[in-house]
Homo-oligomer: A and B are copies of this chain.
Amino acid sequence: MTDAAEQSAHPESHHGYISEKAAYINRMKRIEGQARGITRMIEEEQYCIDILTQISAVTRALQGVATGLLSDHLGHCVLDAAKLGDEAAQEKLKEANEAIARLVRS
């Protein structure tokens, strides 16, 4: 999705805001694998404490992806909006702050 036609067709799109996109996809593939591993552990009724350890690990991995993406978002979308004016920036920030509050609570 990097060709110019695509870009111009979606003037509001956020193509390119994710730094090191391939790295995030790798992290998510690993998380998918861990999730499948947990399902299998439950199917095999492995020891509960070991399953909980895996769930804590996946949760932290997901939080790492979330804080990384958020960092990219603040550094691109929000700073770009700041250049357009305070109102645009405040709107973007409101949305980001709500996402942060959800992450902190979850």
A21 to B42 CA separation, bound complex (whole angstroms): 7
- A70/B52 contact (C-beta < 8 A), A28-B39, A42-B25 known: yes
- Main SS class of interface, A: helix
Count of this chain's copies in the oligomeric assembly: 4
Assess whether A101 is in contact with B48, with CB atoms less than 8 Å apart.
no
- Which one of A55, A56, A78, A82 has the highest number of Cβ atoms from chain B below 10 Å of its Cβ? A55
Task: Please give the residue numbers on chain A whose beta carbons come within 8 Å of chain B beta carbons, in ascending order.
Answer: 1, 13-18, 21, 24-25, 28-29, 31-32, 35-36, 38-39, 42-49, 51-53, 55-56, 58-60, 62-63, 65-67, 69-75, 77-79, 82-83, 86, 89-90, 93, 95-97, 99-106
